[in-house]
Structure 1
Amino acid sequence: MHTEKTRGAVGARIWSQERAASTRECEQKGSSAMLARPAGYAGATIAALWAARQVGRLYSSTEPFGPEFLNVARNLGIFILPAFVLLLAGPFRMWFDRFAPLYPLVLGAGVLNIYVQDDALAAGLPLIALVYPFLVIFSLAYLLRGRVSQA
């Protein structure tokens, strides 16, 4: 009878430890969306506003759906890719979640640079050399390494 009580106590302790571990895992998964989701929404909003402005500008020109429209579509795809990853691929590890706000900050700085600069080279070169690679690498890093394993 004494061994049954010991087994019961050990079983209850193991069960409570497993439950605590699963609770911590659920909390980690739930809290990892704390920064990723708002960053995804903010970045998607910046990208959508930029695309709406560009399409409005193109529509008022003489060739509304010329080759410039394809440039806007390509840029929108690159701009919004991290938003799709942040919003649809989560939950993410806490270390990755801390860096999620970099996406809207870098994207916003790149778009702001487009409108602030008078020279086309000064506006486009930082976008091509810094922002595009950051967005692609950011998306791949979050998609391939940042997700919490579902095991």
Structure 2
Amino acid sequence: MKYLFEGDNFGFTKQELHLFGGNYGFRKIDLTQVSKIYVYKGMLTKYPILTSIFGLCSIALVTYGLYWALNGMGNSVDLSELNGRGVRGTGALLLGLGFVFLAGERAFSLILVKRFILKVEFYDRNFELRSLKSLEKNNSLLRFIDFLMKKYPPQKLRIEANILEELKK
């Protein structure tokens, strides 16, 4: 199907909003049934507190692991007696800690980086579509907001004040 505007998990036609789950459409919403639409900048995670706790724990784990690998292991084990096995073990530990560090860094980037978010309310359901990045890459986000402004009256459409100025730059 040809969409006027398509994101990672949604597509807009002239009369419908299609929500995707995985690679298939799981819901079609008639645009006349939408009660409110919000466009704003926000965090990429729905749970910022849990995400920050995960990030802090992973950074603490990496710090402790590096301290143990560089100080504790060197004092208790003579690496020359291990015939290279201790060096491989330390390398594997550091590689694992590198992956944990990247996971913690990603958690913090989900909190600190602000992206455009589309929130759709209809009847008693809310959908937050946190993937307007594809519209930003195609430089069609401003056209998408113009489409929404033509389609909906101001009482149904809420757009953050600074978004239009930021997009027109």
**TM-score, structure 1 as length reference:** 0.36
State the TM-score, normalized to the length of structure 2: 0.33
